[in-house]
Structure 1
Amino acid sequence: MKSFVLAAVSAAALLTACGGGGNSGETKAKITSVKVVGASLADSGTFGFKFTVQSGTGTPYKVYPERIAATYGLPALCPAYVYSPTTSPFPYAANTAQTGCTNYAIAASAVNYVVGASTPGTGLFGTAYDIAPTSLIRQLADLATATGTFSSGDLLIVGEGSANDASNLATAYLLSRATSNSCAAAPCAATGDFRQLMATLIDSTTLASLTDIQAGGYYMQLLAKKLVTAVKTSALDKGASRVVMLNTLDVTKTPKFQATLETVTINQGAVAAGQIQQLLQGWIKAYNTALDSEVAALGSNSSKVAVVDFYTNFNAEMDDPVQYGLTNTSGTVCDQIYSQATSVTPTVQTAGATSLSPTYASGAVVGYCKDTTASTVTPTANNTGTTWWQTYLYADNFHPTPYGHQLLAQLVGKKLTEAGWL
């Protein structure tokens, strides 16, 4: 996912850790194919690895859509795209090494995928690219092209890409408010980034009439509309009858964003940090409310779409981790490995900094953040023996552990059961 305040983590299940996510084992709907669009939590290996704790035995852990496919007794999912740095203009190519791949999710994807100059203040969020494979709009279109007409046995999972949109929004807002020793009395050069991002969805006349706070909320409402419109065009209008959509969880509670808020607290005080968090949470709620409204507005098609409530359930998980069998919801497995394992030679990471980012696909984090290494570590928090890492929520600063994926699959499975699809 995007750097700086990227966030995407597992949502909480409504079930306890010992509970099940489905019915007695007999599915109510005959699902013959699971199709996926989304970001890193749903990615089946676009970059050659999955965004969770790595397996030291060679058998990768399943991410949540793969667990759902297994629930239906279907073959393992495979990535429709592969990372291809020589491919232009976007470094992704069709996965020709495997056939029948139906998982189009790519880490760092978003509903409104924005790219631009790498220097703050010069258009970091200036242009939206719906044609990029890291856009859920493109993923849906590519899936529709490959599928043709959806069958009654198809289940479409529209994953957590909107969490990256929320992260982009937070990043742009914080950059626009950034101060340093050279510009302590006013925003730095990045001031324009927030408005540039807003302009990718909000027309200029409307945007000019809105404050930043209003613009952020309206932007998130339009984001929900954009995604639902794409789902209708690329899936429902082509025969899809079972679509699961995940709303956006509270990204401000992830270790990465918590570290950012700590920095704000140091530089501007706890009150400022709390106000920023509340503002961003309000924008996320605006998206989730709009998503429900847009799905309801689909009319007869609304019964074909089930929205999974990431936000509420993730908050419940963070508030009462014991209920979900979790021993730690603030630290990360990768951080513990980097700070404790004697086999790790790179510079020890600071708390909340260790990331399984696509940028580091061939780097040390992926190589060392393994279950076999974790079992040799004595963690500084919540030491429950050699399996301590199995009940941590976070693998790195914004991705879940295999157990986090299990909880998320249970949550999605519960929604499928409620819809009569499982």
Structure 2
Amino acid sequence: MDLHTLPRTTVRRWQPLALVVAASLALAACGGSDDNDTNPLGITAVKVFGDSLSDSGTFAGLPGMSRTFTVQATRNEPTVLWVEHVTAAYGLGAQCPVYKFNGTSFGANPKAGCTNYAIGGGRINNPLDSGGALAPLSIKKQLQDGAARGWAKGDLLLIDGGGNDAADVVGAYLGAAADKGVKYLALLRTQVSEQALAQVLAQPNGMETAGGMYMQALADGFAAEIRSSALDKGAQHVVVANMPTITYTPRFQGVLDMIAQAAGGGGPGAAARAQAEGLFKGWVDAFNQRLSANLAGDARVKVIDVAGRFTDFMVRPSAYGLTNVTLPVCGADGVTVLPKREFVDCTADALSGTTPPPGAPAGRSWWERFMFADSFHPTPYGHALMADQVIEALDGADWL
């Protein structure tokens, strides 16, 4: 996702679940599970669709741009993103991007064999000023391009999306006071019919209810595209990660703080903050619930509740080995205890050479188990935790 991250430790380091799973399978002959195949489906390609959570290098090589949207040059390269961990769990080669951006437009990557269609900035409802539905920034278009190449029995599809869309609708809603709702209503009309919109806007809290309708319609369209471009055209194994609750990200926590300040702070500010947070979480929940409902009952699809696990990270960070779930290690606007770095400069070495912020573990590895890289994206450890969840689900379904 985007809104316009593990290096070596001295004592111990996190091991990807894929390695744990592999070890447990190796021990199966000694009286454990009878599952002794790390690739029971014969998966030969992992094909990826989505946004910056999954982009393995569309913008790499351009001035000021990094391979991934997280901490760079960690020792686990090129297995950093959640989709890269899943690919490695199947024993397949490193992910590489299907598209490359040359600074002005997207084209085909001349490197053969790439299967990662995801692009940083990808949206389900891609706006016209970014090329609309015909541009590869549209996740629907990515799926269509994948379908055009055809699906094989050995393909596993990994799909994420919606975070940027949610950020768009929240931003437009918050800007409604300044532009009289022009941008918000225009965005709503791209997914909600005029009749339905008129009916809901005539009701109390209509603007807020309409946001939930938009998110449900967005999920309907996403599920329909997954069905028409993937399932109906022969894809047999599809993993869909639902939308993380973006209100927990540092960027949106900052937005909520500004809402509290605008309401006068104190009790009224806290109430306004809580109301806005509840509204935006409700919109994310509306999307996720509708997406799951639309894809339920199909054995070819596994919907992963990333949002639920992400919430648990925030509530019980120590249970997942997380040492901080609020501060972005690459810094951000308004963060004074760490320097702000673009991803291309936010390297493992740079962070290890930075004085740890107050409350962080001592030593060069202070940053390794923080959740956030910047204000919107996870660290490599955050990606590894997401991969854990997906690999658990794949193993539980005998897909791995």
* TM norm structure 1: 0.80
Q: Indicate which of 66, 91, 94 corresponds to 2:108.
A: 94
> Residues of 1 paired with 2:90 and 2:76: CA distance?
24
Corresponding residue for residue 365 of structure 1: 342
Aligned to 1:293: 293
User: Who is 1:360 aligned against?
Assistant: none
1:306-336 deviation line (CA, Å, top 9, x unaligned): 000011111111111111011011001111x
Q: Is the 8 A contact 1:256 1:353 kept in 2?
A: no
2:41 alignment partner in structure 1: 29
Tell whether the 8 Å contact from 1:352 to 1:397 is kept in structure 2 after alignment.
no
Matches within 5 A, 1:380-399: 380-381=357-358, 382-399=360-377
SS of equivalent residue, structure 1 residue 206: helix
**Aligned match of 2:390:** 412
The answer on whether the counterparts of 1:352 and 1:396 sit within 8 Å (CA) in structure 2 is no
Label 1:39 to 1:224 Cα distance change in 2 as closer, same or farther (>3 A): same
For residues 40-119 of structure 1, the aligned pairs below 5 Å read 40-48=52-60, 49-55=67-73, 59-60=77-78, 62-86=80-104, 91-96=105-110, 98-116=111-129
Give the share of equivalent positions with the same residue, in percent.
38
**Is the Cα contact below 8 Å between 1:325 and 1:391 reproduced in 2?**
yes
Q: Which residue of 1 aligns with 2:203?
A: none
Distance 2:273 2:131 in 1: 29
Unaligned runs of 5+ in 2: 6-13, 26-36, 61-66, 201-205, 264-268
- Whose RCO is larger (CA < 8 A, sep 6+)? 1
Structure 1 position 368, deviation (Å): 2.4
Q: Distance in 1 between matches of 2:286 and 2:198?
A: 20
Identify if the C-alpha distance between structure 1 residues 139 and 19 changes in structure 2 by more than 3 Å, giving closer, same or farther. Answer: closer
- Letter of the aligned partner of 1:112 in structure 2? N
Aligned length: 360
The residue type equivalent to 1:330 in the other structure is: T
Structure 1: 5+ residue stretches without partners: 10-16, 117-126, 177-186, 339-348, 357-363
Looking at structure 2, the residues matched to 318 and 221 of structure 1 have their Cα atoms a distance apart, in angstroms, of 25
Structure 2 partner of 1:14: none
The alpha-carbon deviation at position 418 of structure 1 amounts to: 2.1
| Pick aligned residue for 2:227 from 228, 232, 238 | 232
**Counterpart for residue 257 of structure 2:** 262
Residues 294-317 of structure 1 show CA distances to partners (whole Å, capped at 9, x for unaligned) of 012xx5xx1100000011111111
Please state how far the C-alpha of 1:213 moved relative to its aligned partner.
2.0
Q: Tell me, in whole angstroms, the C-alpha distance in 2 between the residues paired with 1:250 and 1:218.
A: 17
Q: Aligned partners of 1:128 and 1:353: how far apart in 2?
A: 38
Question: 1:419 offset after TM fit, Å?
Answer: 2.0
**Whole-Å separation in 1 of the counterparts to 2:188 and 2:229:** 25
1:355 Cα deviation after fit: 11
- Map 1:15-414 to 2 at 5 A: 20=17, 22=21, 24-25=24-25, 26-27=37-38, 28-48=40-60, 49-55=67-73, 59-60=77-78, 62-86=80-104, 91-96=105-110, 98-116=111-129, 129-146=132-149, 148=150, 150-159=151-160, 161-176=161-176, 187-189=177-179, 191-210=181-200, 211-268=206-263, 269-296=269-296, 302-335=298-331, 349-351=333-335, 365-381=342-358, 382-414=360-392
Q: Which residue of 2 aligns with 1:13?
A: none
With over 3 angstroms needed to count, the CA separation of the structure-2 counterparts of 1:249 and 1:139, relative to structure 1, is: same
1:58 Cα deviation after fit: 11
Query: Taking structure 1 as reference, are residues 324 and 18 closer, same or farther at Cα in structure 2, changes over 3 Å only?
Result: farther
RMSD: 2.4
Shift of 1:288: 1.0
Q: Distance in 2 between matches of 1:392 and 1:115?
A: 36
Give SS of 1:213's match: helix
C-alpha distance 190-85 of structure 1, shift in aligned 2 (>3 A) = farther
Distance 1:355 1:378, change over 3 A: closer
Is the CA contact (8 Å cut-off) linking 1:255 and 1:398 kept in structure 2?
A: yes
Give the partner amino acid of 1:73: G
Cα distance between partner residues in 2 of 1:354 and 1:223: 37
Deviations 1:119-168 (CA, angstroms, capped at 9, x unpaired): xxxxxxxx98211211111000011112x2x2221100012x21111111
TM-score (norm. length: structure 2):
0.85
**How far has the Cα of 1:57 moved from its partner?**
7.3
